[in-house]
Structure 1
């Protein structure tokens, strides 16, 4: 046994190097073969997953449109004056917008949540509102004899409805129900931008798009086909302040009016917010000053220790 060990250690140096390199080569060869086998397995599994997913996708009815026409085009953003944190509504635009609503939109769309009195000191004076309300007859009663009667409107009455009920509204619009416009700005994604884009977005249907009879093509409306036809044309109304009544101007004004109708408290809320900001800022500065005034002598004093002699 001792003789064998000594013989092993007496081998030439190159023989030991050869044995070491041979062992490394065998090790690398086994590792490479295993890695190659694992790579083939991973490739086979990946190919199976991709093939299965492709087969499943081909069997599913894909109803998503490539141009997202089912959801409608995203409306472009406009710099509305009332969107600024320090600006109120453009009340001249609100007045013009009410005129567009009264002369154009009120024939089909209601404004259930707005009373005549809401217009006072916003777009009209109190006398103007009373005169406009008296032009409408409202059913009231019963009287002393138990009968219902008609009376002129009052500022406390709400805007009149164009149809007595939903069935009459559908019958007058080929089965489509015109929505109430009181909260339309809040009820639609995009808000004022969507309404403005919808009113000005009527175009001819592109090639390959078929629109059923009685519908109109508007890319901003979900699905592209809308029952409401284009209603705003240049010169349709005559503004009393001399503003040119282009279709885009009327769309802007009526959109501003509907934005006010959705938030009649908008201006008061911003005024209250500015007051609260000023008061709280003043109190904060005063609190900081008092804090520094009271604590400055304590925080800046020195404590000196004089050891006894």
Structure 2
């Protein structure tokens, strides 16, 4: 009797599942979900080719230095680089003296308070320090950026689909909303304080276009166009996210070469051992 009851319960449960599945499939076929403005107008990242791409890629250190200059003079006003230390910049080709001079330009806030002014005390950075935060806390960061929190850029190219191409596309993708978007989705008009960018997930960014032609002056004479600066800082952020990339590529190539040689030797040994023996 118990088996019959349990069997009936199982059959009823399976029946409910089949009815739910059938109802859902029917509704999906007869009433497809409405396409959202993000689904229709969001664009995939633009193509971007960097020297570090591919299994044989190596960093273009002149480009990395230009990218660091863009970060220092433009991005660091709002964005942090909390996983990178000043001394790491020697990998970009800077000398120890140059790294010390760069660190000296940043002030580190300390937990102590100046008894005379009541303000937080600061000290000069040293090469061993990591890049300081541009704001003392999240509240201050949001207050200065329209309640939006500027993300840390240390791992930006690792945490976003598209990597460096995503960063490059965001920086060069600001534009006016297309008329067809407003015609089809009149309620999707970009609000006050936001900026339309089809490469961002919800199409609207609180960050204003950060780059303008000639905004920095490159010491190597490269023209500082928006496109060039976007490429350079994207390449720099690839390095911050994976500074050992070249070592990984070298290790991978050496490993593949070893496996190929080992496979050939193993095959030749096999042929030699079994040569002349009946199969």
Q: Same fold (TM over 0.5)?
A: yes
Partner residue of 1:92 out of 50, 58, 62: 62
> Looking at CA atoms only, which structure, 1 or 2, has the larger radius of gyration?
1
Q: Work out the CA distance in 2 between the residues paired with 1:123 and 1:205.
A: 42
Partner residue of 2:39 out of 68, 81, 85: 68
Between the two proteins, the alignment pairs up a number of residues equal to 240
Q: Work out the CA distance in 1 between the residues paired with 2:106 and 2:70.
A: 18
Residues 109/191 of structure 1: CA separation in 2 closer, same or farther (3 Å cut)? same
Match of 2:229 in 1: 250
Partner residue of 1:226 out of 205, 217, 239: 205
Name the stretch that deviates more: 90-99 or 75-84.
75-84
Assess if the C-alpha contact under 8 Å between 2:177 and 2:196 holds in 1.
Answer: yes
Q: For each residue in 1:112-149, what CA deviation from the matched residue of structure 2 results, as whole angstroms up to 9, or x when unmatched?
A: 1111121113242222112111222335698xxxxx96
Assess if the C-alpha contact under 8 Å between 2:156 and 2:241 holds in 1.
Answer: yes
Q: Tell me by how many angstroms 1:274 deviates.
A: 2.0
Name the stretch that deviates more: 267-276 or 239-248.
267-276
Partner residue of 1:203 out of 143, 165, 175: 175
Residues 292/56 of structure 1: CA separation in 2 closer, same or farther (3 Å cut)? closer
Name the stretch that deviates more: 264-273 or 236-245.
264-273
| Alignment TM-score, normalising by the size of structure 1 | 0.70
Residues 228/282 of structure 1: CA separation in 2 closer, same or farther (3 Å cut)? same
Q: Work out the CA distance in 1 between the residues paired with 2:213 and 2:121.
A: 41
Partner residue of 2:77 out of 107, 111, 116: 107
Q: Work out the CA distance in 1 between the residues paired with 2:109 and 2:48.
A: 42
> Structure 2 regions of 5+ residues with no counterpart?
1-22, 113-119, 183-187
Q: Work out the CA distance in 1 between the residues paired with 2:222 and 2:205.
A: 30
Q: For each residue in 1:126-175, what CA deviation from the matched residue of structure 2 results, as whole angstroms up to 9, or x when unmatched?
A: 22112111222335698xxxxx9644322211011110100000000111
Assess if the C-alpha contact under 8 Å between 2:38 and 2:203 holds in 1.
Answer: no
Is 2:62 the counterpart of 1:83? no
Q: Tell me by how many angstroms 1:223 deviates.
A: 2.1
SS at match of 1:138: strand
Q: For each residue in 1:258-291, what CA deviation from the matched residue of structure 2 results, as whole angstroms up to 9, or x when unmatched?
A: 1111111111111122222333333443444444
| Alignment TM-score, normalising by the size of structure 2 | 0.77
Q: Work out the CA distance in 2 between the residues paired with 1:255 and 1:56.
A: 45
Q: Work out the CA distance in 2 between the residues paired with 1:55 and 1:153.
A: 62
Structure with greater contact order relative to length (CA < 8 Å, sep ≥ 6): 2
Assess if the C-alpha contact under 8 Å between 1:112 and 1:182 holds in 2.
Answer: yes
Q: Work out the CA distance in 1 between the residues paired with 2:92 and 2:267.
A: 41
Q: Work out the CA distance in 2 between the residues paired with 1:56 and 1:210.
A: 30
SS at match of 1:228: coil
Q: Tell me by how many angstroms 1:53 deviates.
A: 3.9
Partner residue of 1:118 out of 74, 85, 88: 88
Residues 122/141 of structure 1: CA separation in 2 closer, same or farther (3 Å cut)? same
Residues 172/139 of structure 1: CA separation in 2 closer, same or farther (3 Å cut)? closer
Q: Work out the CA distance in 2 between the residues paired with 1:88 and 1:224.
A: 33
Assess if the C-alpha contact under 8 Å between 1:69 and 1:219 holds in 2.
Answer: no
Residues 139/174 of structure 1: CA separation in 2 closer, same or farther (3 Å cut)? closer
Q: Tell me by how many angstroms 1:87 deviates.
A: 1.5
